[in-house]
Amino acid sequence: MARAPWWRDAVVYEIYVRSFADCDGDGVGDLPGIRERLRHLADLGVDAIWLTPFYPSPQADHGYDVADYRGVEPLFGTLTDFDELLRHAHELGLRMIIDIVPNHTSSQHAWFRLALVARPGSRERARYYFRPGRGRSGDRPPNNWTSHFGGPAWTRVPDGEWYLHLFDAGQPDLDWTNPEVGDEFESVLRFWLDRGVDGFRVDVANGLAKAEGLPDTRRGTPLPFTDQPAVHDVYRRWRRVLDSYAGDRMAVAEAWSDDAELRARYTRPDELHQAFNFHFQVADWSAAAFRRVIEDGLTTTSMIGAAPTWVLSSHDQPRHVSRYGGGEVGLARARAATLLMLALPGSGYLYQGEELGLPQVDVAPEHRQDPTWARSGSTDAGRDGSRVPIPWSGSAAPYGFGPGSAATWLPQPDDWAPLTVAAQTGLAGSTLEYYRAALALRHEHLAGLDEPLEWLPSPPGTLAFGRGRLVCTTNFTARPRRVTVEGRPLISSGAPVEGSTAVVRLPPTTTVWWVRR
Ligand code: GLC
């Protein structure tokens, strides 16, 4: 029987390039820094890494504003550094996927610069959404859309036209009805596939197509800039490109769609391979909420034979330790949630630093850099708190982030010394050693296992399910719970389990894996 493609059950580690490791000592992470630290990831036991955008960019949205899709931002290194990183990752047995940002370019992209100096109605403007304004003097935006970062989604240029940007003004939306755009992106995909990347994470995958005529949004009706049917033509084309390369190249969609059926469409057999399941990421800490999102995720993907995905933290959301309440309780819940996630069918996406148990940081207003902060009129603190550079070693900032003592681009807290990779390595009970053990056990017991999940009876406030010989039990409550398990405990996210072989006391806020007898 053919082996299932690697991505169906891979654990993929997200690297936020600015914040992972700094080689040249400027306080900003870079590609050579990642290369130097790849050992950490191989030792951790992940299967693949995902790099956030590292392309030339004015960094208005930290790289999600791409000025040139075929290069490397000098702040992060060179194309040779990229090739070296990829080669080294492959040598260590790690796959590498990269972010592709097709919804918008940077306002510094050559196409947009040409569009700005071209006249209304020109071919140069037709790659973006330039429109006249409303009102007698055209001084009102063409429609009522707002930016995801706050404020209007339109900015006016000196000749009076407006251009659309669903995010920052430095991120103009491309017009995917223009065939030049599709051709350009096919060529960009090939550029990186030819260099050997294993796949892509598709940024704002559900936003590329807009409803014809760019109608106003209206309460109670579907948004005119997400999940439009035409977006799927793009991914059918991309799938043909990916399939034309050897080696199971893949793509995972970032598509925040509430409707399960709409989400499933992105992973139909002739489209992308996976889509993130953000409902799992934002589920409340309760047995009922988790069971609901797990069942929903499994049903959505099984309808079309796709592989489910699970994620708890990312560069866009508060870290799960803090989302679950912070402190000791938050950490206990986060560890329990991770072990539960790693037992589920499909693939899991980890975010850098979660293996250290890092909490969300309350970045002081004067240091905030996320465009959300300014665009929301300083009402939304934005996402900087999950993007603080990784502490590697030492007792004070920058905790070995770079070779010198340069301040990191976002300040690190003073109390991170016990959380560094060095401090946790070899330390019994540390979150890092716990992740390593969990990932090794996942490989041993679940790799390549095509078994669906089977729910098992368990008391209120707990969940239990089996997969193959593995049983996963989670106690979401703050009190011990008795569960019946015919098995031997393999790993606990918290205290060890007590009890006879069949009926055991599951410690509070803990997940335990068992191997069935
Ligand atoms: C995605 C990215 C986010 C970025 C946005 C605009 O949601 O994950 O970080 O700000 O797209 O590109």
Residue 30 lies in a domain: yes
- Residue 252: give its domain's CATH number: 3.20.20.80
pLDDT for the residue 493: 98
3-state secondary structure of 68: coil
Where is the domain boundary, 390, 405, 438?
438
Mutate to test the pocket of ligand 1, among 59, 167, 171 (most ligand atoms within 8 A of CB): 167
419 plus 507 within the same structural domain: no
Sign of torsion over alpha carbons 19, 24, 30, 33: negative
Residue 238 lies in a domain: yes
pLDDT for the residue 159: 97
Residue 252 lies in a domain: yes
325 plus 469 within the same structural domain: no
61 plus 88 within the same structural domain: yes
Ligand 1 midpoint to CA 173 (Å): 13
pLDDT for the residue 303: 86
Q: Which helix (H) or strand (E) holds 251?
A: strand 250-253
Residue 111 lies in a domain: no
Structure tokens that stand for 57 in this block: 């960019």
Structure tokens that stand for 414 in this block: 């003073």
Distances (CA, A) of 326 to 319, 332, 405: 9, 9, 29
Where is the domain boundary, 438, 471, 497?
438
Atom of ligand 1 nearest to the CA of 104: 12
Q: Is the CB of 316 under 6 A from ligand 1?
A: yes
Give the whole-angstrom CA distance, residue 242 versus residue 253.
14
- Residue 483: give its domain's CATH number: 2.60.40.1180
482 plus 356 within the same structural domain: no
428 plus 499 within the same structural domain: no
Provide the residue range defining the domain that includes 50.
6-105+179-214+222-362+413-438
Residues 271-280: tens digit of each pLDDT: 999 999 899 9
189 plus 56 within the same structural domain: yes
Residue 116 lies in a domain: no
Tokens 């050693």 correspond to: 433
Q: Is the CB of 64 under 6 A from ligand 1?
A: yes
List Cβ neighbours of 335 (8 Å cut-off, separation of 6 or more).
357, 431, 434, 493, 494, 511
Mutate to test the pocket of ligand 1, among 57, 64, 276 (most ligand atoms within 8 A of CB): 64
Tokens 């949004």 correspond to: 217
Which among 9, 14, 168, 254 is annotated as catalytic? 254
Atom of ligand 1 nearest to the CA of 61: 10
* Residue whose CA lies nearest to ligand 1 atom number 2: 203
Distances (CA, A) of 345 to 146, 187, 248: 37, 34, 19
Structure tokens that stand for 161 in this block: 């036209």
Give the whole-angstrom CA distance, residue 505 versus residue 136.
73
Give the whole-angstrom CA distance, residue 5 versus residue 258.
28
What are the φ and ψ backbone dihedral angles of 127, each rounded to 5 degrees?
A: -85, -15
Tokens 């050579």 correspond to: 32
How many domains are contained in the chain? 2
Mutate to test the pocket of ligand 1, among 14, 51, 61, 200 (most ligand atoms within 8 A of CB): 61
User: What residue ranges of the chain have pLDDT lower than 50?
Assistant: none
pLDDT for the residue 2: 65
78 plus 193 within the same structural domain: yes
pLDDT for the residue 353: 98
Distances (CA, A) of 93 to 11, 44, 365, 454, 478: 13, 12, 41, 31, 40
Q: What single letter denotes the amino acid at residue 171?
A: Q
Q: Is the CB of 384 under 6 A from ligand 1?
A: no
List Cβ neighbours of 493 (8 Å cut-off, separation of 6 or more).
332, 335, 336, 338, 339, 434, 510, 511, 512
Structure tokens that stand for 382 in this block: 């934005």
Measuring CA to CA, which residue among 167, 254, 241, 237 is closest to residue 202?
254
511 plus 466 within the same structural domain: yes
Residue 150 lies in a domain: no
Where is the domain boundary, 438, 473, 502?
438
Atom of ligand 1 nearest to the CA of 101: 12
pLDDT for the residue 273: 97
Give the whole-angstrom CA distance, residue 66 versus residue 73.
9
3-state secondary structure of 236: helix
* Known active-site residue 254: yes
Residue 155 lies in a domain: no
Measuring CA to CA, which residue among 250, 235, 337 is closest to residue 48?
250
Distances (CA, A) of 37 to 78, 89, 276, 300, 467: 18, 10, 26, 37, 33
Residue 506, strand partner residues: 481
351 plus 475 within the same structural domain: no
Which among 203, 271, 355, 370 is annotated as catalytic? 203
329 plus 469 within the same structural domain: no
Atom of ligand 1 nearest to the CA of 314: 8
Residue 68 lies in a domain: yes
Which CB contacts under 8 angstroms, 24+ apart, belong to 180-187? 180/127, 181/127, 182/234, 182/237, 184/69, 185/69, 185/100, 185/102, 185/234, 185/238, 186/237, 186/238, 186/241
List Cβ neighbours of 342 (8 Å cut-off, separation of 6 or more).
11, 348, 438, 439, 442, 446
For residue 398, say if its preceding peptide bond is cis, omega within 30 degrees of 0: yes
pLDDT for the residue 517: 83
Q: What CA dihedral angle connects 155, 158, 162 and 164, to 10 degrees?
A: -50
Strand-strand pairing, 250-253 and 274-275: parallel
Q: Is the CB of 204 under 6 A from ligand 1?
A: yes
* Residue whose CA lies nearest to ligand 1 atom number 4: 64
358 plus 458 within the same structural domain: no
DSSP state at residue 19: G
Give the whole-angstrom CA distance, residue 10 versus residue 49.
10
Q: Is the CB of 253 under 6 A from ligand 1?
A: no
353 plus 289 within the same structural domain: yes
